[in-house]
Amino acid sequence: MYPYESFLQESNQILQNLSDDFAYYLLYLDFTDFQMVNHFYGMEAGDSLLRAMEEALKRDPQVRTCVNIFSDQFLCLIQTEKDVDVEKIIISYQQRSRLFLEEQGTNYPLCTLKLRYLQSNRRKHKICGGRRQSGAQGGEEARLLKGIPLQ
């Protein structure tokens, strides 16, 4: 994982060289009640869980760059084919998250592991071809961030 400033630089570089063949999204993931892992299993176990998440994100072919921010939170720039429906992307990441948490949950049976996604003012934002496109947002669990650079 990159330090935050490096993540911003790499993300900006990627977005400055946008390809019309792809769409780009920022995805924010946050472990809820992560401190319970540290409380019941110790800091080493918590660090192990974070490393497992980092490795899973590194293996994801859609993740162009990613950063671990604020301990148990991750911010990723993902790239998809241009015509992929955003709802399919959301569902895909929900499914991947569930599988990851089911796999990891066996190591932490006293904790209920959950990942939440950023909720962004009930709107979804797509970064595409240098333009931001917005649409009405339903009640999905996942939301996409708008805009880079983040201040």
Mean pLDDT for each consecutive 10-residue tract of the chain (151 residues)?
82 85 86 89 94 93 90 89 85 88 88 69 36 33 34 28
> Which pLDDT belongs to residue 51?
93
> Rounded to 5 degrees, what are φ and ψ at 147?
75, 140
CB 101 within 8 A of CB 41: no
> Which pLDDT belongs to residue 61?
93
Query: Which pTM was predicted?
Result: 0.72
Q: What angle do CA 112, 90, 61 make, to 5 degrees?
A: 95
Task: Quote the tokens at residue 108.
Answer: 């932490």
Rg over alpha carbons for the chain, rounded to the nearest Å, is: 16
> Which pLDDT belongs to residue 45?
94
CA distance 33 to 131: 36
Chain CA centroid to CA 13, Å: 19
> Which pLDDT belongs to residue 44?
95
> Which pLDDT belongs to residue 114?
82
| DSSP SS3 for 22 | strand
Nearest to 1 by CA among 74, 70, 60, 62: 74
CA distance 65 to 21: 18
